[in-house]
Amino acid sequence: MSARSRSRLMPSNTSRRRFLAAVGAATTASLAGCFDSVEELDGDLGDGGQVPDDATTDWPLPHFDAQATSYNPNPVGPREKPSVRWDVEGGWPTGRIAVVGDTAYVPLADSLRALDTASGEEKWRVGTREDTDANYGSPQFTSPAVVDGTVYVGTTDRRGLLALDAASGEERWRWNPGEADVHAPAVPVDDGIAAGTQGGLVAALAPETGEERWTVEVFGEVSRLAYSPSTLYAGTTGGEVYSFSDYDGNGLWRRKLGGAIEALAVEGSSSVYAGTFGGGVYHLSGSLHAGRTRWHAADGPTAHGALALADGIVVGTDLSRARGLHYRTGEVRWEIEGDFGAPPAASGSVGYLAGDDVVAVNLDGGYGLGDVRFGAKRWTFPVEGYVEHGVTVADGALFFAAKGGKSERTEGAEPRIYALE
């Protein structure tokens, strides 16, 4: 690991600090409270479906927050089987949808679209086929991050990271070091926005201009990023997890795991969860413990795209099952068979899985004693097509984009974008 350039992170506006503090504190406090108090999860978690008046109903980042927990502690999603609020024609989905206010930002192969959350009506789009670069093909937009009125979205056609006006889609700046593909979705850090490239470059950028505050080279393509106060974590396809100071990019620790990093999430300053391809799920110690393994669930799940850290349960999915692992031990608390090739999401006491169908589950595994559980599944919603990038829980609804079907039942389905409520 070598630093290409480093400089002190400059002060940023207070709204960014408030954003990070509010989302981070809410999630960390909720997780910490639940994790400290949950010894045996034997019954409904009892959130009652009540949403506090000050609760966020947005899903502004690829996996809800900078920690990439994919979990809103407030019950803002449908608990009973939903109906279709709207569905509209879509292109080939390439990432998870972000929702802020009355707008859903949908990443597709050929465009990033902004849709009205109430009606599905299009507000704007960028990256249409008309301006596709003939040398590199479609932009292949990543999951967007929406912070302080700006949409940060990566591309895989060597345009780099784009910063767009959230209201109009107008480009403010782009960061493109050496025509790099940006596969890992960007995350906000204190005083900046973090991005990673296919070539193994991690960077902290000024949110207003895209100027590099610091950059660091790692081994392998940067596949995932996550952030907790003062620390940025990066996972790579080379199977390594890196920890950096967000002040200057100095490396804090580095761990080699048993497969390419498919998912990365952090809780507080002392827990890092990594899902790997073929190597299982790891719980690593942060802070002064320098990435040591707390537990390793060697038989998975593979953890496609993300893990959900929710109420003492670590939820992961793969093409044959979804599992809820106990946060302290990694032991399986519940398991549901099915094709769940999309990253999970969670809200309140309900988890949301996707693949051939969208499925809601009780995060505590339902009812029972110890490992014997019943009633984990709440409802199933059949989908025309296949959901690969997961659902977004926001505005009392589930938002997702489905591509053409991969099974016999869904073969021939046209790509569509949905809102269920």
DSSP letters along 36-98, please?
HH-S---S----TT---TT----B-BTTBSTT---EESS--S-SSPP-EEEEEE---B-S--E
Task: State the CB neighbour count (10 A cutoff) for residue 15.
Answer: 11
Measure Cα distances from 284 to 60, 291, 296 in Å.
26, 5, 9
Q: Omega before 185 cis (within 30°)?
A: no
Domain 2-311+390-420 is found in CATH 1.10.357.10: no
For every one of its 421 residues, what pLDDT tens digit does the chain have, with 9 covering 90 and above? 433 333 323 333 444 444 444 444 444 434 333 333 333 333 344 455 678 887 899 999 999 999 999 999 999 999 999 999 999 999 999 999 999 999 999 999 999 999 999 999 999 999 865 555 545 557 889 999 999 999 999 998 778 999 999 999 999 999 988 867 898 899 999 989 999 999 999 999 999 999 999 999 999 999 999 999 899 999 999 999 999 999 999 999 999 999 999 999 999 877 999 999 989 999 999 866 789 999 999 988 877 889 999 989 999 999 999 999 999 999 999 999 999 999 999 999 999 999 999 999 999 887 766 555 667 899 999 998 999 999 999 999 999 999 976 555 556 788 999 999 9
Instruction: Report d(CA 257, CA 99) in Å as an integer.
Output: 33
pTM greater than the 0.75 cutoff: yes
Q: In this structure, are residues 194 and 178 in contact, taking their beta carbons and an 8 Å threshold?
A: no
**Interior/surface letters 363-386, b for 16+ CB within 10 angstroms, e for the rest:** bbbbebeeeebeebebeebebbbb
**Domain range annotation of the chain:** 2-311+390-420
Instruction: Report d(CA 367, CA 298) in Å as an integer.
Output: 26
Amino acid present at 100: V
Question: Both tokens of residue 49?
Answer: 């479906």
